[in-house]
Amino acid sequence: MNGVNGKRRSLLGYKETIVMDLVFATQNQNKAKEIQELLPSTIRVKTLAEIGCFDDILETADTLEGNAALKSQYVVDNFQVNCFADDTGLEINTLNGDPGVFSARYAGEGRDSNDHMDLVLKKLEGVTDRTAQFRTVISLIINGEEKQFEGIVKGDITHEKSGKSGFGYDPIFKPTGYSQTFSEMSMEEKNKISHRGIAVRKLIDYLRNI
């Protein structure tokens, strides 16, 4: 495996296990922990806080791919570590792919998820085609080489908010083939089919084989 940061000696002998540190460009310890549990023990996931990065990394690209790459490259350039970052957007067909890359600030800077959802529902009043998709892009940089992984889940925008779990646009997104919104599902059920779950599994499959 490339990008070696350390070694562990087996208690049963002299066999050594190579360990690689991999930074996740997030301050969310729970998100990092979830991914760590899916990875082999030879890869250790760290958050931005754990490497002393508290910078506000600007997402100025006009695509999810560009924003994910901006974040991972910023960390690599400023902290000289292997890193991965993600960006996610809700893409609604009738709205020409909006809110897309602006999903986190669709109703304006400083507004919350309810404001964003209210704006979407208002724009879709009287609209019959409510098809949409959630899309996540992960940018991974190891030893200066970038790989990207995409996860997509298709569905429809509901006519009203439903459910109390999840975050973002989950209360108004119902995945194809399901009668519940993401917000009405358990986290375990959502992760099995979600855009982020799909992208993360692709990332993990890649990391297991490098």
> What CA–CA distance (Å, rounded) separates 17 from 195?
32
- The residue ranges of every structural domain in the chain are 6-207
User: Is 87 one of the catalytic residues?
Assistant: yes
Arithmetic mean of pLDDT, 68-80: 97
Sorting pLDDT into bands at 50, 70 and 90, what band is 17? low
Arithmetic mean of pLDDT, 80-102: 96
> What CA–CA distance (Å, rounded) separates 8 from 166?
38
The candidate with the shortest Cα–Cα distance to 153, out of 209, 106, 204, 192, is: 192
Sorting pLDDT into bands at 50, 70 and 90, what band is 125? very high
Catalytic residue among 62, 77, 86, 87, which?
87
Low-confidence winner among 60-74, 126-140, 187-201 (lowest mean pLDDT)? 187-201
pLDDT of 103 above 60: yes
Phi and psi, residue 193, nearest 5° = -120, -5
Per-residue confidence (pLDDT) for residue 60, from 0 to 100:
93
> What CA–CA distance (Å, rounded) separates 113 from 50?
28
Q: Which 3 state secondary structure label does DSSP give 8? A: strand
Q: Which fold has domain 6-207?
A: Maf protein (3.90.950)
**21-32 as b/e: b if 16+ CB within 10 A:** bbbbbbeeeebb
> What CA–CA distance (Å, rounded) separates 81 from 51?
9
What confidence tens digit (pLDDT) does each residue in 168-186 have? Answer: 999 999 999 999 999 999 9
Omega before 99 within 30 of 0, i.e. cis: yes
